[in-house]
Amino acid sequence: MPLIPMRVMLDHAAENGYGVGAFNVNNMEQIQAIMMAATETNSPVIVQASRGARSYSQDNYLRHLMLAAAELNPQIPMAMHQDHGNSPETCFSAIDQGFTSVMMDGSLEADGKTPASYEYNVDVTKQVVDKAHALGVTVEAEIGCLGGIEDGHGAGLSGDEAQEHLTDPEEAERFVKDTGCDALAVAIGTSHGAYKFTKKPTGDVLKMDLIADIHRRLPDTHLVMHGSSSVPRELLDIINQYGGDMKESYGVPVEAIQEGIKHGVRKINVDTDNRLAITGAIRKVFAEQPEKFDPRDYMKPARIAMAEVVKARMIAFGQAGWADKVPVVSLDEMAKRY
Ligand SMILES: [Zn+2]
């Protein structure tokens, strides 16, 4: 199946009340792990690459790996998404590389660190929407700022500081009118990275009621939860058991995400959990079989460990079972619909 615009997938998810996990990649095994999980669960797929991932893997490698995934899995609808584009140029270069969806994160200035003004955010997002929609490409935007840093991108806000940059529902409503974006990342107290919360999050720090309010105002805009790894204890334990040094940490509970899905969340970004699964599996091989030196001896278990996490999320978010029902719409056809 050719890559399809992310909008088509999220529209289908909205009509049928499920969410779609968006998993970050920067190498072949991660893409294979996602496709293994998608095939086993019959799930539509969003694969995403940050700016850091694109420079690590190089655009040409990444493009061909994605095309290979599409060619080998004709039954699975896939969208390829630029995660946290820091400028219109980054988004345009992703579109040139065949990405079917881009995130223009104008909540931060082009340095990817400084919280930006509302006007700046509207200006850069609108530039991307105009060009992307003419080509049928989906646009995700962000209003409010998340905590933490991901791949060098982020204001580096602490959990407390992030509470001061939550999405304002009224502003979100105005922002979508001003820009015409398809999907909106909202800041509800989550952070990027492995260290999100120091204890199991409650409604004081994870503001799920904000999502319900934003969804009431913007019923046709697909909401996106970033920083939504669950950081399961078992994954931290495996790493630490085999010589790692991960500190105590809590992520976003899967039940909170499921609650979000009931209130308009359609895309859920998960990266850390997969990183933890891969690292734990590799550490285990290194510790238990120190004589091994063929990378396949540890990359294969790493790939399986990531596929297990992805599979569990696909089932929990409700996207499992829908792959063959998502309509196949070309970018050209989508461009006509805007
Ligand atoms: Zn993010």
pLDDT of res. 208: 86
The CA distance from 60 to 144, in Å, is 33
- Encode the chain (338 residues) as per-residue pLDDT tens digits: 689 999 999 999 999 999 999 999 999 999 999 999 999 999 999 999 999 999 999 999 999 999 999 999 999 999 999 999 999 999 999 999 999 999 999 999 999 889 899 999 999 999 999 999 999 999 999 998 877 776 677 777 776 777 778 899 999 999 999 999 999 999 988 888 877 788 888 777 788 889 999 999 999 999 999 988 999 999 999 999 999 999 988 899 999 999 999 999 999 999 999 999 999 999 999 999 999 999 999 999 999 999 999 999 999 999 999 999 999 999 999 999 99
Distances 236 to 29, 110, 206, 324, 336 between C-alpha atoms, Å: 21, 34, 22, 35, 47
Task: Give me ligand 1 centre to Cα 34, in Å.
Answer: 18
The CA distance from 143 to 2, in Å, is 31
State the Cα torsion 201-272-22-98 to the nearest 10°: 150
Which residue in the list 11, 59, 83, 209 is annotated as catalytic? 83
Residue 288: other Cβ atoms inside 10 A? 9
CB half-sphere exposure, 333, CA atoms < 13 A: 8
Task: Give me ligand 1 centre to Cα 227, in Å.
Answer: 6
SS3 content of the chain, % helix, strand, coil (to 5): 50, 15, 35
The CA distance from 31 to 42, in Å, is 16
For residue 9, give the 3-state DSSP assignment. Answer: helix
Task: Give me ligand 1 centre to Cα 240, in Å.
Answer: 26
Task: Give me ligand 1 centre to Cα 226, in Å.
Answer: 5
pLDDT of res. 195: 79
Q: What is the pTM of this model?
A: 0.96
Can 83 be counted among the known catalytic residues? Answer: yes
